[in-house]
Amino acid sequence: MHELAATERLVELVVQECERNGLREPKRIIIEVGDFTSYTAESLSFYFNLAKKNEPVLKAAELEVRNVAAIAICQKCGEEMSLKGVSSKSCRKCGSGDMVIRAGRDLVLKMIEG
Ligand SMILES: [Zn+2]
């Protein structure tokens, strides 16, 4: 159900942005979703399509989901690594578990095309 809450926040934001920019019927909403989030493009689109029924301004809008790679940085040796398909979050170079996620944690509204 994470996606539902995330999509509701997203729709709220999109509606605000449309009002602010005078967009009456945006065609495309582009969002970036990090690989490190648990959101899938399928469920985000599903909830978006449900939510837009309640928002007349979004009736023609399509959601485009772009993936952002999850990147972690080792705090010990500075090694950067992608977390895609990696089960362990320890550094591949020095083995330290002290990894900080630098990208790919968020869902970001990137662009609204009118
Ligand atoms: Zn390391």
**Architecture in CATH of 2-113:** 2-Layer Sandwich (3.30)
What is the pTM assigned to this prediction? 0.81
Cα 5 to ligand 1 centroid, rounded to whole Å = 35
Do 5 and 39 form a contact (C-beta atoms < 8 A)?
Answer: no
Reduced to 3 states (helix: H, G, I; strand: E, B; else coil), residue 24 is coil
Note the pLDDT of residue 3. Answer: 87
pLDDT of 72 reads: 92
Going from the Cα of 99 to the center of ligand 1, the distance in angstroms, rounded, reads 8
Kindly list the strands in the beta sheet with 62-68, ordered across the sheet, starting from the edge strand earlier in the chain.
62-68, 28-34, 107-113
pLDDT tens by residue, the chain, 114 residues: 588 899 999 999 999 999 999 999 999 999 999 988 889 999 999 999 999 999 999 999 999 999 999 899 999 999 999 887 666 778 999 999 999 989 898 999 999 998
Q: What is the pLDDT of residue 74?
A: 95
In angstroms, the Cα distances linking 13 to 29, 85, 90, 95, 108 are 11, 31, 36, 41, 10
What backbone torsions phi and psi does residue 63 show, to the nearest 5 degrees? Answer: -95, 130
Domain range annotation of the chain: 2-113
